[in-house]
Amino acid sequence: MTPRPRIPVPTARAVVDCAVYVDGHRLPGRFTHAEALAEVRSRENGFVWIGLHDPDETQMADIAATFDLHPLAVEDAIKAHQRPKLERFDDTTFVVLRTVSYVPHEMHSVSEIVETGDIMVFTGRDFAVTVRHGEHSGLAGVRRELEDRPDHLSHGPYAVLHAVADHVVDSYIEVAALVENDIDEMEEAVFTPRNHVSIESIYQLKREVVELRRAVNPLAAPLQLLAHKPDLPIAKEIRRYLRDVADHHTTVAERISDFDESLSELVSAALAKMTVQQSTDMRKISAWVAIAAVPTMIAGVYGMNFDHMPELKWTYGYGMVLLLMATVCTGLFITFRRNNWL
């Protein structure tokens, strides 16, 4: 059977928003990406900001043809789960950022805690193209906040790049705070007497922290380049804001590294607690075995089939044997209890 040809999906389906900004203010009306760029270049002022969500190859090829984006950068923008980086292609700056989101979950359960996504930003002389993958990384709020600050938006496309980077780093801080709460709760559970904590749940939290660190730490180098690289056409005011973002990123990256160390210590503590509990259980078992051995031994002796044994014909022998068993067992029980074996 001949497969049906794939019907191209219109580029507009991947476009979340497309706007033209002049002197920090959004022009009224709706534009396609081609119309928006033509409007900006006819005015020789302002820039286009177009936001895309999960574009396919055909949709991204259309955008790339309009904005003259490099094929290598376009290839990265189509694929999710890219490593954070900054690359320069002629007059276009391409930045990849990993996004993170906290997933509500039951504590002490083995489940996903941190969900990751991607935001790619193409920044040119008169355009900013944001491409995002994942359901948690919406930029509508960022756009609204920027539109409420026309003085900041008037600095051009790199103001959009700063706003996106600031939004991503702020999400790192929020997720780190929630993960820290999980670690504190896990630590309290581990050190609570007679409370069982699954080692698997600690390892799961540790694995999610590793995933968080892999998303956060590599962004340090791109942020430093944006804040300090002199050949990037970034306004001095925007560089100041980018340096602030880089400082916040350094703080949260160090905080996440501390999480990893804390969880490693928690694993060791949980294993030590388990070893102590097993030792305590073995002592209890050994104590009860010793107590049970006394009547077993006496009964075994007097259960032997010999004709001549002491006290076999004694009238009070049965009662005395039971009394002896009870006395010895009681004495052993008291001794073990005093020594904290029972």
Q: Is the pLDDT of residue 132 over 50?
A: yes
User: What integer pLDDT is reported at residue 1 of this predicted model?
Assistant: 38
- Tell me how far apart the alpha carbons of residues 339 and 304 are, in angstroms, rounded to a whole number: 35
β-pairing, 47-53 vs 127-133, is parallel
- Its pTM stands at 0.76
Q: Is the pLDDT of residue 202 over 50?
A: yes
Q: Taking all residues of the chain, what is their mean pLDDT, rounded to a whole number?
A: 83
Q: Is the pLDDT of residue 112 over 90?
A: no
User: What integer pLDDT is reported at residue 109 of this predicted model?
Assistant: 58
User: What integer pLDDT is reported at residue 4 of this predicted model?
Assistant: 39
CA distances from 169 to 97, 123, 242, 256, 279 (A): 9, 19, 11, 13, 47
Q: What single string gives the DSSP state of each residue in 120-166?
A: EEEE-SSEEEEEEESSS---HHHHHHHHT-HHHHTT-HHHHHHHHHH
User: What integer pLDDT is reported at residue 110 of this predicted model?
Assistant: 56
Helices 57-67 and 71-78 cross at an angle (nearest 10°) of 150
For residue 26, the surrounding DSSP H or E stretch is strand 25-26
Q: Give yes or no for a contact between 128 and 160, defined as CB atoms under 8 angstroms apart.
A: yes
Q: Specify the higher pLDDT residue, 203 or 272.
A: 203
pLDDT tens digits, residue range 235-248? 899 999 999 999 99
C-alpha count within 13 angstroms, C-beta hemisphere, residue 111: 9
Q: Is the pLDDT of residue 86 over 90?
A: yes
User: What integer pLDDT is reported at residue 2 of this predicted model?
Assistant: 41
pLDDT tens digits, residue range 246-303? 999 999 998 888 887 777 777 777 666 666 666 777 777 777 887 788 788 877 777 6
